[in-house]
Structure 1
């Protein structure tokens, strides 16, 4: 196998690995549940002091 084919295979394997890792990361983050936005009104923090 010449050098250009070896480089193509290696970069293909890296691309597949990154793609699968990205999909797994998205699934893990999605599994955590519904995303609740941060509160807009932080005046309740003033009652703590």
Structure 2
């Protein structure tokens, strides 16, 4: 009984430590100043790739 109680306390402590570390990490990432990319970096129009399918190859009659 003593060993299972020790393992339960240990896993609970690890869980609390991981939860606190996760909350700190989320707060640090949320605190960053997210600025949009400058317009000058978008000097080209994005390439559009389209695929045409033949209806008779999709629907077999």
Quote how far apart the aligned CAs of 1:35 are: 6.5
> What TM-score comes out, normalization by structure 1 length?
0.67
> What TM-score comes out, normalization by structure 2 length?
0.54
Please identify the structure whose Cα radius of gyration is greater. Answer: 2
Larger helix percent: 1
Structure 2 unaligned spans of 5+: 45-61
Pairwise CA RMSD of aligned residues? 2.5
Structure 1 unaligned spans of 5+: 45-49
What number of residue pairs does the alignment pair up? 41
Superposition misfits of 4+ residues, deviation over 3 angstroms: 34-37
SS in 1 for 2:16: helix
